Structure 1
């Protein structure tokens, strides 16, 4: 028996390797990772310790050895032969497999303008080290992209007294993932902290002085950082003849178009009950998919049905979003001393919730709201808006019903 091979040693791939052992799998498990480090978590990269990028390890060499996981570090997968059941590695090795998990993640989207090679990516620990090691007192940073990563970095740099400019092609920052109410509040906080915004502006060129905008204006930046999203890593799957789209297409059980090949994490586009496929780009969803993929590779038939969830820390504010808020949903706001909760209803059914408050002060509330979303029941909007109505009591009533 050739065992199980996992391509990608990020959050998803590494958790899947350990989950295989927890599921009782006793065959060989090989984890292939392109980076020259032990597997680490990505979220702490945008939260440096002083001038150094954090590296929060997912596991140690000892824990890998204790679980019987072979870790191929600093090695890339060059070719997948789905017919032969083999993976060719960059060091010349050939790995046969009985089942394969593609957890190849995503890569930063790159600009296509003159001077784009000057732009620094922010995805890996090496990227983070290169950025934080070169931003000193009195420096200026131009960030292209006003999404979550760009805005988190802006908050970090302003906390260090560094001049920050954010350039965004859309009319407002945080427009894609964050509910508009909280996107506006975070935008206002950044402006109050001194971040300069250039909205609805295109990029003409990157120079040694900064960013030349369409129209000729120049945004100064000793460092220019690109934060315009990511592209799923599908090349290996595409070349092997697997079905791809905006990601490696997988069914609800995370099987690809080849039943012995699974996909999970940022690279995977999961089939939805109503049709189509969705990629879920978050740390927690990567962990959930890792566990499901591991169980299903050992014979289970579990479907991925976790509620999408993400969080972001900016200055002293903590944002959390559970579910998929949509502008068409009815919005109900609950104001609390720690901040605000916003609930999103389809009819009277709670389908999503978001929270913005000081630090982690609303963590308990958003967790209860997430559990109410999972309950899939109708709720009284007035009760959701009333801070005197305990969400735990609403959950208890929903479960009893």
Structure 2
């Protein structure tokens, strides 16, 4: 047997490997990565350093060697046989596993219009390298999709002096995950920075010189980028007969329907206490689920109880959202120096919070709000609204009680 085998060497799979060792697992661990690089973090890809794409490595080769984690770069899994506990790789090698983690992540959702091949993806280091290399000689860019990735890329490209157009099928950008007040503020900030928006529009054709909208409008662009979201990579699991839905379905312990097979990260949908499954897409979720899976493969029996959280930097503004805000929640607003906060209460209990401000103006308050949510706090709304009331005091009072 090859002990623990992990398919996917992103944030989730790599953290799982290290955590299994930290949890005391002494058997073989094999980490399979389809990219040729050492494992790296994805968020920095949209944040250039000295005009170059950043590759922030999760670990160095020496760390893998020191913990006796066998890393196989530039290869991927082609099939899983749950009956024989084996994984076949694209180089025809076969690995036997005691425990298997599927951490294949997600892939960009592709456009289905004429000329879709002319649109660039933005997911991997190679994608980022191609896009920013082409951006060096570009004067204009069209970004299809007004979500977080599309808006972040728009900010970066505007910072390089490139004229940017965002094409979004919805009536407003950032409509799915961002509180409406903050989405509107970010939208207006982009307009102020010179970004042109084509809202309520689809794309009928992409040409080398730009995009044609469904109403016939031509959007000239030297560079076209598709940013319409991602889809979980579940094909391996489906072919192996493992249960899938909007992701690979797992229980609260990240176990799939197949014995000794776990799934975690962007590819997984985790069972929820209230019923159904939820798939989280964020860097921190990938890390926390990977660590939980690593401990469980090493012999623990720990449920995943991470809280949804994401952030986005656009120009000088930073957005953070913790929990799952809903229009049905009671909302409380607070204005602080350099930013604004929104708190969300469900039957009096704090369940989510969001902050938008300059730089790290809201970071401390969002962290404290996350701790209040995790502790099941039901704070007085008037205290949440009052900037003179330190959230740390509310947290201390809750813990003392």
TM-score normalised by L of structure 1:
0.99
User: Which residue of structure 2 lines up, in the alignment, with residue 342 of structure 1?
Assistant: 342
- Describe the SS at the equivalent of 1:40: coil
Deviation at residue 289 of structure 1 after TM alignment: 0.5
User: Which residue of structure 1 lines up, in the alignment, with residue 385 of structure 2?
Assistant: 385
User: Which residue of structure 1 lines up, in the alignment, with residue 130 of structure 2?
Assistant: 130
Mapping of 1:236-275 within 5 angstroms?
Answer: 236-275=236-275
Tell me the distance in 2 between the aligned counterparts of 1:165 and 1:50: 24
Indicate whether 1:234 and 2:226 are aligned.
no
**Contact 2:266/2:279, CA 8 A, preserved across alignment:** yes
Structure 1 residue ranges, 4+ long, deviating more than 4 angstroms after superposition: none
Deviation at residue 2 of structure 1 after TM alignment: 3.1
- Describe the SS at the equivalent of 1:59: coil
Indicate whether 1:313 and 2:313 are aligned.
yes
- When residues 29 and 396 of structure 1 are mapped into structure 2, their CA distance, relative to the original with a 3 A threshold, is same
Deviation at residue 51 of structure 1 after TM alignment: 3.0
Deviations 1:21-80 (A, max 9, x none): 100000000000000110000000010123321100001111100010000100010011
Deviations 1:114-135 (A, max 9, x none): 1000010000000000010111
Deviation at residue 320 of structure 1 after TM alignment: 0.4
Deviation at residue 347 of structure 1 after TM alignment: 1.9
Deviations 1:300-331 (A, max 9, x none): 11111111100000000110000000011111
User: Which residue of structure 2 lines up, in the alignment, with residue 98 of structure 1?
Assistant: 98
User: Which residue of structure 2 lines up, in the alignment, with residue 112 of structure 1?
Assistant: 112
User: Which residue of structure 1 lines up, in the alignment, with residue 73 of structure 2?
Assistant: 73
Tell me the distance in 2 between the aligned counterparts of 1:2 and 1:36: 22
User: Which residue of structure 1 lines up, in the alignment, with residue 214 of structure 2?
Assistant: 214
Indicate whether 1:371 and 2:371 are aligned.
yes
Unaligned runs of 5+ in 1: none
- Describe the SS at the equivalent of 1:287: helix
Tell me the distance in 2 between the aligned counterparts of 1:34 and 1:332: 45
Deviations 1:271-326 (A, max 9, x none): 00111111110011111101110111122111111111000000001100000000
Tell me the distance in 1 between the aligned counterparts of 2:345 and 2:152: 29
Deviation at residue 269 of structure 1 after TM alignment: 0.2
- Describe the SS at the equivalent of 1:286: helix
Tell me the distance in 1 between the aligned counterparts of 2:343 and 2:26: 45
**Contact 1:311/1:319, CA 8 A, preserved across alignment:** yes
Aligned length: 401
Tell me the distance in 2 between the aligned counterparts of 1:176 and 1:75: 35
**Contact 2:2/2:30, CA 8 A, preserved across alignment:** no
User: Which residue of structure 2 lines up, in the alignment, with residue 2 of structure 1?
Assistant: 2
**Contact 2:138/2:222, CA 8 A, preserved across alignment:** no
